[in-house]
A and B are shown apart, each in its own frame.
Chain A
Amino acid sequence: MSIPFITDLPDAHGRFGPYGGQFVPETLMPALAELTEAYHIAQNDPDFWNEFHRLMRDFVGRPTPITHARRLSEHLGGAQIYLKREDLAHSGAHKINNALGQALLVQRMGKQRIVAETGAGQHGVATATAAALLGIQCVVYMGTVDMARQRPNVFRMQLLGAEVRGVDSGSKTLKDAINEAIRDWVTHVADTHYLLGSALGPHPYPAMVRDFQRVIGVEARQQMLERVGRLPDTIVACVGGGSNAIGIFHPFLADEDVRLLGVEAGGRGIASGEHAARFADPKIARIGVLHGTKSYVMQDADGQIALTHSISAGLDYASVGPEHAYLRDIGRTAYTYCTDEQALAGFKALCAYEGILPALESAHAVGHVLELAPTLPKEHILLLNLSGRGDKDLDTVMGAI
C-alpha cells in the first residue's frame, strides 16, 4: 500500500503557517538536519515503506478493524458510531505505528541507541517494544509522579529491555521527561536518536510522526468506503500532542465534507484553570514555544510553562502539535474539550455498551460523542478513533469511580 501525500505542509523550514519550526540548542540543529535528510530519503524509498507495512501487518496486526458500535449508537439515539480500533494494535495503542517507523529509520541511520519520553507509559512501551524487536538499546525518561501512577507500564518497559529513568525535576511529569530526554540527546547526539512520541517538537518530528500515523486514516478511509459505501460525516479523536488525531485526520483533509473534530482534556473544567485544553482557554494558552516548536502553549503572563491537569496522563501536556494549530486557523479542523468527569462517563459507557475498555485518553473522544451523537440524525456517520486500550488505566478509574 502506498501512502499518498495530499498536502505539502510543512514548508522547507518545517513551518505550518506561523507554527512549527526548530527552536532548539545549536548542538541539535545538525542532528535535526541529518534526521530530516534521512527521513526525506526513506520517505521516497518504496523499500522503506514496504518494510514498514510488513511490520504493521505481521507484528502490529494491521489493519486494525472498524467496529460499528451498535448498542451505544442505539442507546444515544442519534448518529451511527463507528470505532477505529487502534486499541487492538500490538502493545495497546496507536503509538506503536510511530515507534516502529522511527526505529526503522534509526537502523538506516546506523544509530545504536534511542531515548524516549513517556507520560502514561504508552509511548514508552511502544518504543521499548520496537527497540526489543529490532535490537536497539533503549532508555525511557518518565516523571516520577507518572511512574507512581503507571507502575505496570514501568515494569512492562523493563521487561522489554528498556532502562526507565525517573525524572525528578520540575513537575515530574511528561514535560519534564521531554526536557530530560532532550538533554540526554544533546549529550549523546552522535550515536543516539530521540524517538519523540507525538506530532510535536522541532521539525521534522511533527511531519514524520504524522506520516507514520497516517496509516490509521488511510486504512479507515478505505474501510469506511468498503463497509458503508461512503465517507464518514464526522471524525472525532482525542488530542494531547495530537498524533492519533493527525494520523486519522490527515488522509481526509481533502475530503471537505468530512468534519474533523479534536477533543482536548478539559480536566476539572476550563474555569478551574486545571486542564490541558490549549485551544479552549485564551487566558492561559497563547502562541509560544515549547520543546522546539511554535504552537499554542499553556503559560503564565511571564511565559513560564503552566502546569496542566488531566485524569489521563497522555493528554496532560502544555502544548499541542503545530499542524493542529494551523488546521484550526484555516478552519479545516475544530476542537472541543471533555472534562475528567465526562471522560469517565465515556469510559463506562464504552465498557457497558460495547465490551471495550478504552484508554482514558480515547475516553475523552467517547465522552464528547456521548453528547454529540444524540444531536445528530440517524443517518449521520461518526467515526471515533479509539486510540488505545484502557487496561493501564484501571487503577486510576477505580480510584475515581
Chain B
Amino acid sequence: MPYLPVGYPDLATSIDLIQALAATGADLIEVGVPFSDPLADGPTIQAAAQQALANGVTSSACLAAVRTLRGRGVQTPLLLMGYVNPILAYGVERYVADAADAGADGFIVPDLPPDEAAEMAAACAEYGLALIFLVAPTSPDKRLRLAAEHSKSFLYLVSVAGVTGERRELPPHLADFIARVRAHTDLPLAVGFGISTPEQAAAVAALCDGVVVGSALVRLAGETRPAAKVSALSSLLSAAVHDTTMINH
C-alpha cells in the first residue's frame, strides 16, 4: 500500500508515478493531498507537500488526478490522504461527492478522529466511500473499539508514536500492538509509519494484512529518474509483501 502525494515533484510526474505504483502490483494506493501544515508528517512528506503547493496543486487538482488515473485504466483502489482543513474549505459533502465522481474509493484524514468525523462519515456513507480511521500504540482499548466500529474497509495502525518518516528499525512492540488491535476487530489491518525497506515490509506483512510505505517512495520521487526508482522499490515492496502473504496463508 504505497503513498505518494499529488504534485510532487510536479503534477504530471506525480500522476505518472502513481500509475507506476499500480502497474507494479500495489494493492491500494494512498494519494496524498498536500496541506500547508501537515502535523502528522515528518520532514520528507512536509517538504514534498510544500513543493506540491508551490506547484499550485489544490484539492480540485488532486481529484482531477484521480479522474486521470481512472481514465488511464488504473483499477487499484485509490484513497485520498489529506488533512481536514482543505476538506472543510472545499465543503465536506461536495468533496466526498466529487471524489466519488472522480473514482476515489475513500479517505484517510489523520487529524479527523472518529469523535469529530460525524459529518464526513455521513457523507461517505451516502456516496459509498470508505472513511478509514487510525489507531496508535497509545490508543487504549476503548479507542481501538471506537475506531474499529467507525472504520470502513480496514483499520490503519500507526506503528509508532511519532510522525511519518523512514526509520532504521521497526518498533519493538509492533507484534504486541497488532495482536491487541486484532483482538478487537475482524477488519483487515494495515500498518504504516516508519516502514521503508522491502525487508521491513515483509516482516510487518507477516503480522497484518497490509503495509503502508510513504516517505521512502516520496524521497525517490524527488530524485533524478524518479519513475525508474519508484517502480523498482514498489516492485520489491509488492514482492516482499505478497510472498510473505502467500507463505502465511
Contacts of A29 in B (CB 8 A): 113, 115, 139, 143
Contacts of A186 in B (CB 8 A): 39-40, 161-163
Distance A169 CA – B45 CA, assembled complex (angstroms) = 12
- A25 in contact with B134 given A286-B89, A302-B89 (CB within 8 Å): yes
How many CB-defined contacts (below 8 Å) exist between A and B?
Answer: 118
Distance A175 CA – B60 CA, assembled complex (angstroms) = 25
Distance A175 CA – B35 CA, assembled complex (angstroms) = 13
Contacts of A187 in B (CB 8 A): 161-163
Residue in chain B with minimal CB distance to A13: B115
The 8 A CB mask of B130-147 against A (1 = contact, 0 = none) is 000111111110010001
The 8 A CB mask of A302-331 against B (1 = contact, 0 = none) is 111100000000000000000000000000
Contact A305 B36 (CB under 8 A): yes
Distance A288 CA – B90 CA, assembled complex (angstroms) = 11
State how many residues of chain A have any CB contact under 8 Å with chain B.
38
Distance A253 CA – B158 CA, assembled complex (angstroms) = 43
Taking the complex as formed, is A291 at the interface, i.e. its CB lies under 8 A from any CB of chain B?
yes
Residue in chain A with minimal CB distance to B87: A303
Taking the complex as formed, is B187 at the interface, i.e. its CB lies under 8 A from any CB of chain A?
no
Distance A30 CA – B111 CA, assembled complex (angstroms) = 14
Shortest Cβ distance from residue A115 to the other chain B in the assembled complex, whole angstroms: 13
Taking the complex as formed, is A114 at the interface, i.e. its CB lies under 8 A from any CB of chain B?
no
State how many residues of chain B have any CB contact under 8 Å with chain A.
41
Contacts of B36 in A (CB 8 A): 170, 304-305
Contact A31 B138 (CB under 8 A): yes
Kindly identify which residue among A170, A189, A292, A297 contacts B111, using a CB–CB cutoff of 8 Å: A292
Contact B113 A22 (CB under 8 A): yes
Contact B88 A30 (CB under 8 A): no
Contact A305 B37 (CB under 8 A): yes
Shortest Cβ distance from residue B51 to the other chain A in the assembled complex, whole angstroms: 12
Contacts of A286 in B (CB 8 A): 89
List B residues at the A interface (Cβ < 8 Å).
Answer: 35-40, 42-43, 46, 50, 53, 58-60, 84-90, 110-113, 115-116, 133-140, 143, 147, 158, 161-163
CB<8 Å pairs between A and B, sample of 23: A21-B116, A22-B113, A25-B136, A26-B139, A26-B147, A27-B158, A29-B139, A31-B138, A175-B37, A186-B40, A186-B163, A187-B163, A286-B89, A288-B89, A302-B86, A302-B90, A303-B35, A303-B86, A303-B87, A304-B35, A304-B36, A304-B53, A305-B37
In the complex, given contacts A26-B158, A288-B85, what are 7 additional A-B residue pairs having Cβ atoms less than 8 angstroms apart?
Answer: A23-B112, A23-B113, A31-B138, A183-B39, A289-B88, A305-B37, A305-B85
